[in-house]
């Protein structure tokens, strides 16, 4: 598959980040999870993005000349209807504080304590964002952005009812059915996401068939598991639920490519990559220097046909 060039790490490596600290933060975020090396970061005018999802599909039909009164025909006269959903960008903030005496002592030994502190804040931001992609406001941070799980998956929610595969036992059959449900790019699927428990079942199946597949990530050159050439992202924030706490979702989808058919991380167009790093200088209260690290972002589903979820029972998978 062709890797998208709008990933956060690519943004950090190019002219968007003339600030070397911001570029370093972007690259640090990319190293936390392979997801950030693949998912596109899409600019948004303002702090929200409202998507109109088409509801009707049967809007035209084949006709012979002068055979039908088009104004009276229910199909040819049907008008496009849609439903709207708004994604709101949220801010994740960390502030690094380094004592001046400690900094001076470390600098004498060639160690930049502020750089280390900023890197730590950036890693934690990435973990918070990756968690929120799954848990959302319902099961995650209520001050964060919407995510998968109860926010966007389920009866009455954006994705509607998910595929109930809790009675199925073959992990590969479940994956095939999940991939078949992603239709936005005429069946092209760009990503799969599951937790460690489900991934262990997949590994056991691949081991029994001697059929492991791997993909090398485009930025950090890590090898990650794949299925049918599609990268599998491990996300342990996908919870185990159900009466016996053995059920979990498996997600699959397309990445947004500029035509409104996949998922993306969103950020304000005026803030490259959604990343801001500010040297606040000397603390007014302490003998210390301060640097603030911020990422403005949200998880967006630009096409409901570009994502699919299957609920599996990990206790019966084989």
User: How many domains does the chain contain in total?
Assistant: 1
Written as six digits, the tokens of 153 are 């998956």
Q: Flag whether 213 is in a domain.
A: yes
Distances (CA, A) of 73 to 59, 60, 66, 70, 78: 11, 10, 13, 5, 8
Q: Flag whether 199 is in a domain.
A: yes
Q: Flag whether 228 is in a domain.
A: yes
* Distance, CA of 308 to CA of 318 (rounded, Å): 21
Q: Which of 87, 75, 89, 37 is nearest to 217 (CA)?
A: 37
The neighbour count for residue 107, using CB atoms within 10 Å, is 12
- Confidence band of 3 (pLDDT split at 50, 70, 90): very low
Q: Flag whether 108 is in a domain.
A: yes
Q: Flag whether 152 is in a domain.
A: yes
pLDDT of residue 16 exceeding 60, the answer is: no
pLDDT of residue 228 exceeding 90, the answer is: yes
Q: Flag whether 173 is in a domain.
A: yes
Q: Which of 155, 317, 313, 133 is nearest to 238 (CA)?
A: 133
pLDDT of residue 202 exceeding 50, the answer is: yes
Which percentage of the chain shows pLDDT scores above 70?
A: 86
Q: Flag whether 75 is in a domain.
A: no
Beta carbons within 8 Å of 81's beta carbon, 6+ residues apart: 54, 55, 56
The confidence score (pLDDT) of residue 207 equals 95
Beta-bridge partner residues of 266: 42, 298
The confidence score (pLDDT) of residue 9 equals 45
Contact status, residue 266 vs residue 45, Cβ threshold 8 Å: no
The confidence score (pLDDT) of residue 294 equals 92
- Confidence band of 160 (pLDDT split at 50, 70, 90): low
DSSP reduced 3-state for 302: coil
pLDDT of residue 17 exceeding 60, the answer is: no
pLDDT of residue 57 exceeding 70, the answer is: no
Domain housing 162? 8-54+81-313
Distances (CA, A) of 290 to 25, 68, 281: 16, 73, 6
Task: Give the residue-averaged pLDDT of 14-26.
Answer: 57
The neighbour count for residue 111, using CB atoms within 10 Å, is 12
Is residue 14 exposed (0-12), middle (13-18) or buried (19+ Cβ within 10 Å)? middle
Task: Give the residue-averaged pLDDT of 287-305.
Answer: 91
Task: Give the residue-averaged pLDDT of 173-183.
Answer: 94
Task: Give the residue-averaged pLDDT of 100-124.
Answer: 79
Is residue 62 exposed (0-12), middle (13-18) or buried (19+ Cβ within 10 Å)? exposed
* Distance, CA of 211 to CA of 248 (rounded, Å): 24
What is the reported pTM? 0.85
Q: Flag whether 66 is in a domain.
A: no
The neighbour count for residue 80, using CB atoms within 10 Å, is 10
pLDDT of residue 106 exceeding 90, the answer is: no
């Amino acid at each position: 598959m062709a890797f998208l060039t709008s990933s956060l790490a690519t943004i950090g490596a190019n002219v968007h980040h003339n600030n070397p600290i911001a570029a370093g933060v972007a690259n640090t975020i990319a190293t936390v999870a392979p997801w950030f090396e693949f998912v596109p970061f899409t600019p948004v005018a303002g702090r929200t993005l409202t998507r109109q999802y088409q509801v009707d599909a049967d809007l035209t039909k084949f006709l012979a000349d002068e055979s039908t009164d088009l104004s009276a025909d229910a199909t040819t006269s049907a008008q496009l209807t849609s439903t709207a959903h708004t994604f709101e960008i949220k801010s994740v903030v960390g502030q690094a504080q380094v004592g001046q005496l400690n900094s001076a002592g470390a600098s004498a030994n060639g160690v930049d304590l502020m750089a280390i502190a900023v890197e730590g804040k950036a890693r934690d931001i990435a973990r918070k964002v990756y968690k929120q992609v799954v848990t959302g406001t319902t099961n995650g941070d209520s001050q964060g952005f919407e995510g998968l799980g109860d926010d966007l998956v389920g009866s009455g929610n954006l994705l509607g009812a998910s595929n109930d595969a809790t009675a199925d036992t073959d992990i590969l059959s479940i994956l095939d059915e999940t991939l078949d449900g992603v239709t936005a790019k005429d069946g092209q699927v760009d990503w799969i996401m599951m937790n460690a428990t489900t991934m262990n079942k997949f590994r056991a199946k691949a081991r029994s068939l001697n059929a492991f597949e791997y993909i090398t990530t485009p930025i950090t050159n890590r090898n990650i598991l794949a299925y049918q050439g599609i990268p599998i992202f491990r996300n342990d924030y996908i919870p185990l639920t159900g009466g016996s706490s053995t059920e979990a979702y498996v997600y699959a989808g397309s990445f947004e490519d500029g035509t409104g058919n996949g998922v993306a991380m969103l950020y304000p167009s005026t803030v490259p990559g959604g990343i801001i790093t500010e040297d606040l200088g000397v603390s007014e209260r302490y003998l210390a220097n301060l640097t603030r690290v911020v990422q403005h972002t949200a998880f967006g589903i630009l096409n409901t046909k570009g994502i699919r979820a299957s609920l599996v029972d990990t206790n019966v998978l084989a």
